[in-house]
């Protein structure tokens, strides 16, 4: 039997999927359909069919998603496919309910940029809930599972095939705008999933490990990891110290090290997301 914590986590995941699906549906009706951008996925297919035969996009997406749902059930597991069912239902529902929304953008450039941002934001939220919006997004998750690609790049590869078809239905210019939208979407998906923060990873290569350790502990009260290493130039053994700090702590630590240990080799790197005991950025 699932614990209360596990049930709450599962409920939150389903909530993420529903919220993200709403953003995905709005991106379609506000930006992509008015600008005639087939920016990948089943939504792109429904845009093409709407242009060719005036088929209702919401109905098209529901019909196409049914066989893909069973494919996801077979390859991605029951839990993922149940979450996919939620996304599969809510995206077309949002498209259907907001089909007469008065706020639409038909400029291809603006739609590619801002539609890509909104779509990527929505899909990123859905993926953080370990779900999918169905259709070709499910295919992208299958590609991710079996190739190791990020969600964003897997989505870009799958959507590219729809864009090629749009070049024949519309024209090359609109297809290029659609490709731009897909690129923006892929970057925003990865940004949302990585939960980019202002934390810094500090790498310090030094002969004075005890002194550096004391500075980190006494001045900013952070934990650290020590790795034995060998310098490539002098072939001498040194210690590499790894420490994750907040941005303001990084600024302060840089100042202290410049004053007290100017001969140590120090690198500050952006850390996208920190997992494990003592984080997210809560002190140990």
Residues contacting residue 166 through CB under 8 Å, at least 6 positions apart: 37, 38, 44, 47, 48, 174, 175, 178
For residues 127 and 152, what is the distance between their CA atoms, to the nearest angstrom?
Answer: 10
pTM: 0.71
For residues 138 and 81, what is the distance between their CA atoms, to the nearest angstrom?
Answer: 9
Contact 122, 131 (CB under 8 A): no
Q: pLDDT tens digits for the chain (284 residues)?
A: 457 888 888 899 899 999 999 999 999 999 999 999 998 888 999 999 999 999 999 999 999 888 888 877 777 666 566 777 888 899 999 999 999 999 999 999 999 999 999 999 998 898 888 777 877 767 777 777 788 777 667 777 877 888 899 999 999 999 999 999 988 988 898 788 765 556 788 999 988 888 888 888 888 888 888 998 887 777 788 889 998 887 778 878 888 888 888 888 899 887 766 666 555 544 43
Contact 60, 49 (CB under 8 A): yes
For residues 224 and 210, what is the distance between their CA atoms, to the nearest angstrom?
Answer: 12
Q: What is the DSSP string of 151-177?
A: HHHHHHHHHHHHHHHHHHHS-HHHHHH
């Amino acid at each position: 039997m699932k614990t209360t914590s596990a049930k709450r986590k599962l409920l939150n995941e389903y909530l993420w999927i529903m919220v993200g699906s709403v953003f995905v549906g709005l991106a379609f009706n506000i930006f992509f359909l008015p600008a005639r951008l087939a920016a990948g996925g089943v939504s792109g297919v429904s845009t093409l069919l709407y242009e060719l035969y005036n088929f209702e996009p919401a109905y098209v997406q529901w019909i196409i998603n049914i066989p893909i749902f069973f494919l996801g059930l077979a390859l991605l597991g029951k839990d993922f496919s149940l979450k996919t069912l939620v996304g599969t239902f809510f995206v077309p529902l949002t498209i259907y309910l907001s089909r007469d929304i008065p706020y639409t953008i038909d400029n291809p450039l603006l739609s590619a940029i801002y539609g890509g941002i909104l779509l990527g934001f929505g899909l990123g939220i859905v993926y953080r809930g370990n779900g999918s919006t169905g259709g070709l997004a499910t295919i992208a998750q299958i590609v991710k599972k079996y190739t190791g690609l990020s969600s964003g790049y897997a989505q870009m590869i799958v959507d590219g095939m729809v864009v090629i078809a749009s070049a024949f239905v519309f024209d090359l210019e609109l297809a290029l705008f659609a490709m731009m939208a897909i690129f923006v979407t892929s970057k925003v998906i990865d940004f949302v999933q990585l939960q980019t923060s202002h934390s810094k990873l500090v790498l310090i290569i030094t002969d004075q490990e005890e002194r550096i350790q004391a500075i980190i502990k006494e001045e900013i009260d952070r934990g650290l990891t020590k790795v034995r290493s060998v310098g490539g130039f002098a072939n001498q053994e040194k210690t590499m110290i790894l420490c994750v700090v907040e941005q303001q702590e990084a600024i302060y630590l840089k100042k202290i090290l410049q004053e007290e240990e100017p001969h140590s080799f120090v690198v500050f790197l952006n850390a996208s997301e920190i997992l494990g005991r003592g984080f997210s950025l809560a002190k140990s």
